[in-house]
Amino acid sequence: MAGRLTGKKALVTAAAQGIGEATARAFAAEGAEVVATDINEERLRGLEGVPGLTTRRLDVTRTDEVAAAAKEVGVVQVLFNCAGFVHQGSILECEEGDWDFSMDLNVKGMYRVIRAFLPAMLEAGGGSIVNMSSIASALRGVPGRFAYTTSKAAVLGLTKAVAADFVGRGIRCNAICPGTVDSPSLQERIGAAEDAEAARKAFIARQPMGRLGRPEEIAALVVYLASDESAFVSGTAVSIDGGWSI
Ligand code: NAD
């Protein structure tokens, strides 16, 4: 039986773990030909053997690597820009290097990837771009997430801009804004806290539903935005947050 992404080729960044991994798996399960990429080649190996999926190193902060990937992978119909990093602290804890790193990975990484892949997508008649933002963006100010929130708000602007420029040429571009999702990096942030149990409770308490999101729940939304079911949707920022933004 044909899946919702049968006949589509999809590139996923940051696919070695968390939401990116769950989405790469969900894309493949829906029949897409998936190129799952990450800088963590060791963890990427965990995806080898998934039918329809190949893995590839890709550091989205490296323009040369992104260009080489675009050349090698060629036309895709789906681009999921998932790579991002959480810097913790207010503006007073954010050195210029922290700012530059967050903006370079979380925002410029998407600029690099879209710029490299879009020409072939346009030539082939269009496709769907999904960008990873967050509730911590233009939607909510979150304490201790200065650089992160700034960068994820920029992702919403980038998404609108790309959507506006290419809406008449078959390209859709949407952003997703998850609340707190149980991923390896979230577990690291919890583990690094002075009181891990208190940190875990605080992360859960952000969602009125009283729990963390699961990567598979976010992946299901990305599948929808990647598929033709969402053919009338572009330029949106979709919240998926256990009610955080109610
Ligand atoms: P994660 O943070 O556990 O994993 C991130 C992945 O990104 C890792 O596999 C890492 O190797 C990869 N990566 C790091 N630098 C990279 C680079 N330069 N190029 C390519 N890949 C790189 O996964 P997660 O928590 O699911 O987060 C994925 C995305 O979702 C991020 O953009 C994050 O900001 C966003 N997000 C996460 C949550 C959450 O609560 N987990 C909430 C909202 C948004």
- pLDDT, tens digit (0-9, with 9 covering 90-100), for 175-189: 999 999 999 999 999
- In sequence order, what are the residues at sequence separation of 6 or more whose Cβ sits closer than 8 angstroms to the Cβ of residue 242? 179, 180, 206, 207, 208, 209, 210, 211, 212, 213
- pLDDT, tens digit (0-9, with 9 covering 90-100), for 192-227: 999 999 999 999 999 999 999 999 999 999 999 999
Q: Is 39 in the pocket of ligand 1 (CB under 6 A)?
A: yes
Of ligand 1's listed atoms, the one at least distance from the Cα of 182 is 41
Stated pTM of the model = 0.98
Q: What residue owns the CA closest to ligand 1's atom 17?
A: 59
Q: Quick check: is 148 catalytic?
A: yes
Of ligand 1's listed atoms, the one at least distance from the Cα of 203 is 40
- pLDDT, tens digit (0-9, with 9 covering 90-100), for 11-36: 999 999 999 999 999 999 999 999 99
Q: Token pair for residue 1?
A: 């039986």
- Residue 145 predicted with pLDDT over 80: yes
- pLDDT, tens digit (0-9, with 9 covering 90-100), for 72-118: 999 999 999 999 999 999 999 999 999 999 999 999 999 999 999 99
pLDDT at 218: 98
pLDDT at 1: 74
Catalytic residue among 148, 166, 203, 244: 148
- In sequence order, what are the residues at sequence separation of 6 or more whose Cβ sits closer than 8 angstroms to the Cβ of residue 7? 31, 77
Nearest Cα residue to 79 out of 32, 20, 130, 35:
130
Pocket test residue of 11, 17, 64, 204 for ligand 1, highest count of atoms within 8 A of CB:
17
How many A from CA of 154 to the centre of ligand 1?
16
Q: Is 40 in the pocket of ligand 1 (CB under 6 A)?
A: yes
Q: Is 15 in the pocket of ligand 1 (CB under 6 A)?
A: no
End-to-end CA distance of the chain: 38
Average pLDDT for residues 217-239, to the nearest whole number? 98
Q: Is 177 in the pocket of ligand 1 (CB under 6 A)?
A: no
Q: Is 190 in the pocket of ligand 1 (CB under 6 A)?
A: no
Gap between the Cα atoms of 217 and 4, Å rounded:
16
How many A from CA of 61 to the centre of ligand 1?
13
Gap between the Cα atoms of 136 and 153, Å rounded:
8
pLDDT at 204: 98
Residue 85, Ramachandran bin (φ over 0: left; ψ between -120 and 50: alpha; else beta) = beta
Nearest Cα residue to 166 out of 222, 224, 127, 132:
127
